[in-house]
Structure 1
Amino acid sequence: MNKLNEILSTIDGHIGGSEWFVFLLLGTGIFFTIYLKFPQFRYLKHSLRIVRGKFDKEGDVGDTSHFQALTTALSGTVGTGNIAGVALAIHLGGPAALFWMLVTAALGMTTKFVEVTLSHKYREKAADGTIAGGPMYFMKKRLNIPLKNNKILKTGTLLGGLFAVATILSSFGTGNLPQINSISNSLFETFGINHMVSGGILAVLLGLVIVGGIKRIANVTSKLVPLMAIVYFIGALAVITYNYDNIIPSIAAIFGDVFSGSAAVGGFLGGSIAFAFNRGVNRGLFSNEAGQGSAPIAHAAARAHEPVSEGLVALLEPFIDTIIICTLTGLVLLSSGVWTEKHQNLFQETDIVVLDGTYSEADQNDVDQLHNYLVGKADLTMFNNVLEVQNGEIIDQPTILHARSVAEEIRVLLGNQPYSGQIKVTDGKIDRSPESPNPKDLALEGKSLMHSAPLTTIAFTKSWFGDYGKYIVSIGLLMFAFSTAISWSYYGGRAVTYLFGVKAEVWYRVVYVIGFFLASFTDTTIIWTLSGITIALMTIPNLIGILSLSKEMKSEVKLFWVEYGKRFPDEKVPKG
């Protein structure tokens, strides 16, 4: 399995994890922002009016209201990325990474506007009478290329099929297996609930929701999303106001470090401009899913006679998901100061690096060397030898990095007991090869920086709520992740309908619920890696499609504002 994971990681590194993929996503957002004359700013107030139903017509076709479509799509994007993704971005790139997340969200608002509009325009009515839509439909209808002698090059059909297959795989890799795994781990750590118990109960609840199709899904998400947003907002606001004296310095760091990089502070060894940009853009894009093509599947079901009106509703998603919620999380992390502090934790082996020699954080020259290594500007010599351990203590310990910080007070454990013996280290990593003498249950603990959801959990305890703040993160993670699983079941189901017809969707739902239960107590590391690949395989055809139809999009926008002006003659209407 480790070998397979390495192969998948290599593939992902050349697709979703590569620089060209990030620039393709950003470039698409920049192009449409300029081409459509900054719709994310000019049209925002009209989006709010439409989501309240002010533009609706009697007889509009669809299965959900604008608000229900918005909350269904938001429930798919607002999830672990808002809790863990922001913490990871700041951990890797410093406060400036949050700035680039916000820039990415602003561009993503336009991308989302375009992809939803085009998908809504080419939606269809399925055999069971429900509305089916998404990028695969406009690809099939508009991207095939006519040839001579009445022949057709079915490029659109091929891209649509690729997108649909990737959506099915991504529904498991993004919205299902990792989500319940995160939920069950969080509930076990916080409340001591057995993984199988939480998985079984939530699997039953999931089945009861998704068996009702989009109408029941929309009813649940329209209530769950506002509730979880309120709970999270209260907890975040408590931390920020409790640490009110750090608010201005935090905001200054977000914007002040953009062109200088973040200096070393506390246990944080500094971040470069390039690292902040890369991590901020990467986490921003995958937080709001702009360009991925998932949200258009939910919005296609909305009751609307004008595709652009639904596109305007979707424009609000990155604003809510990233600009509001991710900014709240970022300010919680920065104002509380936990992102620069070392905390007692059990080390993750993937985050451990054993260096050859010792480096001191009190020595600026050593700090500079470590900083350059972590941001990829220089190499350091890795430890290749055996560590001697006595009663949990490493004899003549070299510098060990964990979570990109110098680890302190390290203890070596075997079955939760102090370990005595040797640890073989190869190229700076604990050797886990089949021939290695290292015990399988060997573990290290100590003080180091933390990242992802555990870091956000600690940050939420830095308020008047104290340790009770961690329950807000656990409950928020539960609601965020569960709602994500609900929405992605719909996305995958519509992709199954596109490929195999409506009757196949019931079997997909059965497998989806079973997979949800099994993942509550099994390792999903390989699923996260596969998810990165499938997300890229969804995104690339979708971006090709919307870029190919840019002229049609501009024409749709102009026609929409003509009708909008007739409906509201007293209101100033933007020029398309």
Structure 2
Amino acid sequence: MVTRFRFQETSTAQGFASSIEKGLDEKINDAFMPFAVWWEKLILSEVDLFGMGIPVVLILLILGALFFTLYFGFVNLRHFPTAIQVVRGKFDELEQEAKRLKPVVYEVDGNLKGTIKDEGHLGEVNHFQALATAVSGTVGLGNIALVAVAISIGGPGATFWMILAGLLGMSTKFVECTLGVKYRDIDSKGTVFGGPMYYLSRGLKEKGLGLLGKFLAMVFAVLCVGASFGGGNAFQSNQAAAQIMGSFGLSGPATGTIIGLVFALFSGIVIIGGIKRIAKVTEKVVPLMAILYVGASLFIIFSKIELVDDVFRLILSEAFEPVATISGGFVGVMIQGFRRAAFSNEAGAGSAAIAHSAVNTAYPASEGLVGLLEPFIDTVLVCSMTAVVIILFNMDGTFIYGNVVNGEALFQDGSRLGGVNITSLAFESSINGSSYVLMIAVCMFAFSTILSWSYYGLQAWKYLFGRGKLTDLTYKLLFLVFTVLGAAITLDAVIKFSDAMILALVFPNMIGLLILFPKVKKELAQYIALITKTVSK
């Protein structure tokens, strides 16, 4: 049995909740919880299928991703090598030719008045920086904490459905990132404004659905601001605080709040500088945190290589015949896998299209191909490694699959732990002292995700309220308040709010994708033709 003395008192950022007097953190949580519960029930409304309730949003995500995969001829697999080549800059010479095109004036409304699509300003960041920023927004604590939640609830079989969701999500991400570049707005200074707000309003207007497009764009923008406060911010600071408190045995009536203030301070320093500074930070942080976390995961996996075949047998067998005491059998396990994958890689939510739209390119499909790498990195690689490490840790039944209350699993000794602390124990069981390494990785994951989502939310905020300096400052201050708030509330409350906020984006975004996908096919055909011509020279 693994020693857990550092973690038992801090299963969430509120390990001191048993104290007689309520501290500041607990008071904040009590005020926030009712809204989180209401919002989750609204967004995760269910329909009865296979004898159990399945959230409508997951049906939309799964069927949409499957459709795009088939319609684009398995673009997620067929053009995977091409995507790698684009990121490496192999086809950058095509961009040099494109810069000689004449400027094209966009017909714009309201706050977009006076902006142009100037081919002299093709964007603000390169392909790798755009990918790094977007990956930093998706490869976050969902890959560490929520994978643990999914495995705790659904057992090893949830891993299979997470991987499948990641593979299918690659096609959805390709579509939304292509549209993000195609319909972005670039002002005369080269500043980019892009994302679903723009392809919903402009793209649907081209289809004669201008009113619907404006409505969906507004809904998306409002939800995106909320998602930036929740899943992209509050959840990250919550689990970072939990890991810090767990590693050092900290507790107190306002410890989470204090940690949140520190995160807010460092985040504020970076986000004031906008996408260029965010991109410069993330292009350094993302590779470092990936090497740190993936390296530790691989070390654990190879140190127990004799058990890995048993792990994969469990994943495959329990995907369809789960042992975990979860309602709905394999359908329940499937829902857990898809739900956590959706939160983790955000394919279908449209958020990453905001980061990708800032790329320096004249060919929308080039960044669409880059975008499809995201779910592969995020879910197929990182989430899978986390899952394997946790399953290896639980081969002797240390905790009971399916016995989860408020996001926390029941251990054989009667204690309960949830989220990132389960992953931390899994690491500690294999590498003594690795919980501290994980703590560093967790903080980096949280920090990079907070940075990326601050940009996503700001773009949506600007779409709603204009592009003035006061508008920017107002959003950034509100965003930092939620950084502190997230560290103060419980894991259960923050998961309910964050899950629902991220998944709510799917409704307006997927409606747009299912109307505009033929535009993407034309862009892909054009770009592939140019690549073929270049290679054949």
Please list every run of 5 or more consecutive structure 1 residues that lacks an aligned counterpart in the other structure: 352-401, 410-445, 571-576
1:525 deviates by 5.2
Query: Is residue 263–residue 270 contact of structure 1 (8 Å, CA) maintained in 2?
Result: no
For residue 543 of structure 1, the aligned residue among 496, 510, 518 is: 510
SS of residue matched to 1:568: helix
Which structure: larger Rg? 1
The aligned counterpart of 1:237 is 298
1:47 deviates by 0.4
Structure 1, 332-341 or 549-558: larger mean CA deviation = 332-341
For residue 523 of structure 2, the aligned residue among 556, 560, 564 is: 556
Query: Is residue 153–residue 326 contact of structure 2 (8 Å, CA) maintained in 1?
Result: no
The aligned counterpart of 1:12 is 43
Amino acid in the other structure paired with 1:263: V
For residue 62 of structure 1, the aligned residue among 119, 123, 138 is: 123
The aligned counterpart of 2:114 is none
Query: Is residue 241–residue 259 contact of structure 2 (8 Å, CA) maintained in 1?
Result: yes
SS of residue matched to 1:340: coil
The aligned counterpart of 1:223 is 284
For residue 255 of structure 1, the aligned residue among 316, 331, 352 is: 316
Query: Is residue 145–residue 155 contact of structure 1 (8 Å, CA) maintained in 2?
Result: no
The aligned counterpart of 1:96 is 157
For residue 74 of structure 1, the aligned residue among 135, 141, 144 is: 135
Question: Structure 2: how far apart are the matches of 1:333 and 1:283?
Answer: 15
Q: Where do residues 415-494 of structure 1 align in structure 2 (5 Å cutoff)?
A: 446-447=414-415, 450-463=417-430, 465-466=431-432, 468-494=433-459
Q: Where do residues 297-336 of structure 1 align in structure 2 (5 Å cutoff)?
A: 297-336=354-393
Structure 1, 529-538 or 220-229: larger mean CA deviation = 529-538
Relative distance call for 1:133 and 1:5 in structure 2 (3 A) is: closer
Structure 1, 66-75 or 118-127: larger mean CA deviation = 118-127
Query: Is residue 82–residue 321 contact of structure 1 (8 Å, CA) maintained in 2?
Result: yes
Relative distance call for 1:98 and 1:476 in structure 2 (3 A) is: same
Question: Structure 2: how far apart are the matches of 1:120 and 1:271?
Answer: 41
Question: Structure 1: how far apart are the matches of 2:494 and 2:295?
Answer: 33
Question: Structure 2: how far apart are the matches of 1:85 and 1:92?
Answer: 10
Query: Is residue 163–residue 538 contact of structure 1 (8 Å, CA) maintained in 2?
Result: yes
1:18 deviates by 4.5
Query: Could you give the per-residue CA deviations for residues 276-334 of structure 1, whole angstroms, max 9, x where no partner exists?
Result: 21111111121100010000000000011100000000010001001111111111112
Query: Is residue 244–residue 335 contact of structure 1 (8 Å, CA) maintained in 2?
Result: no
1:557 deviates by 1.3
The aligned counterpart of 1:46 is 82
Query: Could you give the per-residue CA deviations for residues 246-286 of structure 1, whole angstroms, max 9, x where no partner exists?
Result: 11111122123333x1336xxx7899312221111111121
Question: Structure 2: how far apart are the matches of 1:488 and 1:316?
Answer: 19
Amino acid in the other structure paired with 1:230: I
The aligned counterpart of 1:293 is 350
How many residue pairs align between the two structures?
A: 468
The aligned counterpart of 2:7 is none
The aligned counterpart of 1:386 is none
Query: Is residue 196–residue 520 contact of structure 1 (8 Å, CA) maintained in 2?
Result: yes
Query: Could you give the per-residue CA deviations for residues 378-433 of structure 1, whole angstroms, max 9, x where no partner exists?
Result: xxxxxxxxxxxxxxxxxxxxxxxx83x5x766xxxxxxxxxxxxxxxxxxxxxxxx
Query: Is residue 135–residue 296 contact of structure 1 (8 Å, CA) maintained in 2?
Result: yes
Query: Could you give the per-residue CA deviations for residues 109-128 of structure 1, whole angstroms, max 9, x where no partner exists?
Result: 00000000011101002476
Query: Is residue 57–residue 506 contact of structure 2 (8 Å, CA) maintained in 1?
Result: no
Determine whether 1:186 maps to 2:236.
Answer: no
1:15 deviates by 6.9
Question: Structure 2: how far apart are the matches of 1:547 and 1:3?
Answer: 34
Query: Is residue 12–residue 529 contact of structure 1 (8 Å, CA) maintained in 2?
Result: no
RMSD of equivalent CA atoms? 2.6
Structure 1, 218-227 or 500-509: larger mean CA deviation = 500-509
Query: Which structure exhibits the higher relative contact order, with contacts defined as CA atoms closer than 8 Å and separated by 6 or more residues?
Result: 2
* Greater strand proportion: 1
1:35 deviates by 0.6
Query: Is residue 153–residue 404 contact of structure 2 (8 Å, CA) maintained in 1?
Result: no
The aligned counterpart of 2:341 is 284
The aligned counterpart of 1:437 is none
Query: Is residue 454–residue 476 contact of structure 2 (8 Å, CA) maintained in 1?
Result: yes
Amino acid in the other structure paired with 1:262: P
Q: TM-score, normalised by structure 1?
A: 0.76
Relative distance call for 1:128 and 1:174 in structure 2 (3 A) is: farther
Query: Is residue 177–residue 353 contact of structure 2 (8 Å, CA) maintained in 1?
Result: yes
Q: TM-score, normalised by structure 2?
A: 0.81
Question: Structure 2: how far apart are the matches of 1:543 and 1:474?
Answer: 36
Query: Could you give the per-residue CA deviations for residues 27-54 of structure 1, whole angstroms, max 9, x where no partner exists?
Result: 1111111111000111000100000112
Determine whether 1:118 maps to 2:161.
Answer: no
Please list every run of 5 or more consecutive structure 2 residues that lacks an aligned counterpart in the other structure: 1-30, 48-52, 100-120
Query: Is residue 346–residue 502 contact of structure 2 (8 Å, CA) maintained in 1?
Result: no
Relative distance call for 1:303 and 1:336 in structure 2 (3 A) is: same
For residue 34 of structure 1, the aligned residue among 63, 70, 75 is: 70
